[in-house]
């Protein structure tokens, strides 16, 4: 389709262009277009296409938070129980986080949400610390609350931090796609 009249971008009326969106056909400049495997698409067409990928409901986010909190608290208690065995924790954390992510994925029917991975990651961090703290509270101060020992057991334990870092990144990576 060759014309003698120049085309101008629909978003930048002073920018001359030869490109068109391969879906809607609007003339667009290089600033307003994204390369896809099927050609150049304008940002409006891409947003409509990507919105169809996200099918998660509010119930799915709620289930993600509840299931993630419970399972990560249990996994955090195990990580605290492993304690100074940080070499074992390096292998345990991704395995536990993969299991948690797959339980969440199964519970929500494999639906996808834009912020589902972030919710699961945040809940994993909180639940992991809560689980590690609960076990530390039971083991270090069964009859009276000793804040110094509690803080030392939870926040100074390198195994808990390894568990949180590796586990949170694994949960995020498993659920973002």
- Determine the pLDDT at residue 153: 61
- Both tokens of residue 50? 């990507």
Residue 18: HSE in the Cβ half-sphere, 13 Å Cα cutoff: 4
- Determine the pLDDT at residue 30: 86
| Rounded-to-integer distance, Cα 167 and Cα 72, Å | 9
Average pLDDT per run of 10 along the chain, which is 177 residues long? 74 86 87 83 73 78 95 90 81 95 93 90 92 66 57 68 92 89
Residue 130: HSE in the Cβ half-sphere, 13 Å Cα cutoff: 13
Domain ranges, ordered by start, for the chain: 7-51, 58-175
- Determine the pLDDT at residue 107: 93
pTM for this model (two decimals): 0.66
- Determine the pLDDT at residue 69: 95
CB under 8 Å, gap of 24 or more: what pairs does 22-26 form?
none
- Determine the pLDDT at residue 136: 60
Of 100, 68, 75, nearest to 170 by C-alpha is: 100
């Amino acid at each position: 389709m060759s014309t003698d009249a120049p085309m101008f971008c629909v978003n930048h009326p002073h920018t001359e262009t030869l490109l068109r969106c391969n879906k809607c056909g609007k003339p667009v400049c290089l600033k307003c277009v994204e390369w896809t495997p099927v050609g150049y698409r304008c940002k409006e067409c891409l947003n409509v296409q990507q919105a169809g990928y996200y099918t998660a409901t509010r119930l799915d986010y709620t289930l993600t938070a509840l299931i993630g909190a419970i399972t990560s608290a249990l996994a955090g208690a195990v990580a605290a129980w492993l304690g100074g065995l940080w070499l074992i924790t390096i292998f345990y954390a991704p395995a536990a986080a993969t299991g948690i992510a797959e339980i969440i994925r199964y519970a929500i029917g494999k639906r996808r949400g834009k912020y589902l991975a972030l919710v699961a990651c945040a809940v994993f961090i909180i639940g992991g610390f809560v689980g590690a703290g609960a076990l530390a509270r039971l083991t270090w101060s069964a009859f009276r609350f000793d804040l110094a020992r509690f803080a030392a057991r939870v926040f100074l334990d390198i195994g808990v931090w390894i568990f949180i870092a590796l586990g949170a990144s694994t949960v995020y990576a498993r659920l973002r796609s």
